[in-house]
Amino acid sequence: MHEKKRNRQVKQMSRRAVDALFQALYLLTDIRFLLRETAPDHELDDEQKVRAGKAIEKLKKQVTILEEELS
């Protein structure tokens, strides 16, 4: 199948929603690993708090995309 045709089909299936879904899962995985490396107390240092904050902000954006695409 030609690349252009395939891309058109992908677009119809909401590439944006699928990308947002996986991006959100990967961001959640980053947060999961923050929990792992700070177990058992989960007392985050300043650098870890920044990482957590950034991941959560990015996650919110992906959830917003999912809301836009799927509602």
Partner 1 sequence: MKCTATIDTREVEELYVNIDPIQAGGRLTVDAQKAAIAYSDGYSVCDNCLKPFRLDYINKPPIAEFHRDCAEWLNMDAVRLVPGARRGFQAVASSLVEKGDPVLLTALSHYTEFASLEQAGADIHEVPKDDRNHITAENTAARIEEVTREAGKAPSLLFVEHVDYQYGNVHEIAEIAKVAHQYDIPVLLNGAYSVGIMPVDGKALGVDFIIGSGHKSMAAPAPSGIVATTHEYENIVFRTTQAKGDITGRTFGIKEVEMMGCTLMGVTAVGLVASFPAVKERVLHWDREVENANRVVDALCAIEGTRVESDMPREHTLTRINTLDSFDMVAKTHKKKGFFLSQSLKKKGIIGVIPGSTRVWKYNTYGLTDAQIAHVCRAFQDIAQENGLNVQ
Binding residues for partner 1, rule: CB under 8 A, are: 22, 25-26, 29-30, 32-33, 35-41
DSSP classification of residue 45: -
- Please, which residue, 1 or 39, has the CB nearer to partner 1? 39
C-alpha 63/C-alpha 42 separation (Å) is: 25
- Please, which residue, 43 or 71, has the CB nearer to partner 1? 43
Do you find a cis peptide bond into 40, omega within 30 degrees of 0? yes
- Please, which residue, 15 or 22, has the CB nearer to partner 1? 22
Contact assessment for residue 44 and residue 52, using Cβ atoms and an 8 Å cutoff: yes
Cβ 48 to partner 1 shortest distance, Å: 11
